[in-house]
Amino acid sequence: MFFGFKDLVDILLVALLLFEAFRILRTSGAVNLFWGILAYIGLWFLVSFVLRLELTGAVFNFIGSAGAVALVVIFQEEIRGMFSRIGSRMSNAQIVRFRQEEQKGWLTEAQIHQLILACEHMSDTKVGALIVIAGEQELEEYEQTGETVNADISARMIENIFFKNTPLHDGALIVRNGRLQSAACILPVSKNQHIPKHYGLRHRAALGLAEKSDALCIVVSEETGKISIAEDSKIATVKLAALTEKLQHKN
């Protein structure tokens, strides 16, 4: 049998689908389910195409069809997040291509300076904070869980919001279109089991949103004062200089 270019593309597409399925299930804390599905596919292939057991193969086909529907229902949020990220990246590519001048500068230098100043002060005083900077993807469903602020970006305003025992300190502050839109917002908590133990609930909430959107999330730890960034389904602790560079690079 001749192995052609079409066969190579077919194998690569299947490998890509399996990798994406593994990534979704890993971030959902259900990686063992992936290996179970992989074992089922291998057994189904053996029964249907190698041993050619028609009755057993028909049973496997029925279970596979019902199982596929069940998986879509169980992991609908993760699947929706995956397609949202794909759509967001495509939208970003079109914007870069057709609207470069209009999109240049998501935050002004003055706004970035105010954000950095607030993070520096909160880090020094160990005031916990979670700041979300929206990308192209809408975050309206999360903004509606908090209180509308609709204020200019200023270090004093941000520090007042996250000051201990104030009504709005517990939750996320969402920044969109160069303004502080909503505070005390509730974010989805990541189910990723590989998050380091020293990360708290704020970090898990930041990563949870980073897994579902193209937003950039900044976390200031209340225990250590360290600053972390969550983006593209990843989270890492960074220095203040790296945060500044990251925000400026977005421009």
* Most confident segment among 5-9, 12-16, 111-115, 187-191: 111-115
**Confidence at residue 63, expressed as pLDDT on a 0 to 100 scale:** 83
Identify the weakest region by mean pLDDT among 4-18, 59-73, 128-142: 59-73
Annotate 187-207 with b (16+ C-beta within 10 A) or e (fewer).
bbebbbeeeeeebeebbbbbb
Full-prediction pTM beyond 0.95? no
139-168: average pLDDT: 93
Name the residue among 141, 132, 145, 126 with its Cα closest to residue 207: 132
203-231: average pLDDT: 94
Is the model's pLDDT at 51 over the cut of 50? Answer: yes
- Of residues 19 and 110, which shows the higher confidence score? 110
State the chain's mean pLDDT as an integer.
83
**Confidence at residue 89, expressed as pLDDT on a 0 to 100 scale:** 55
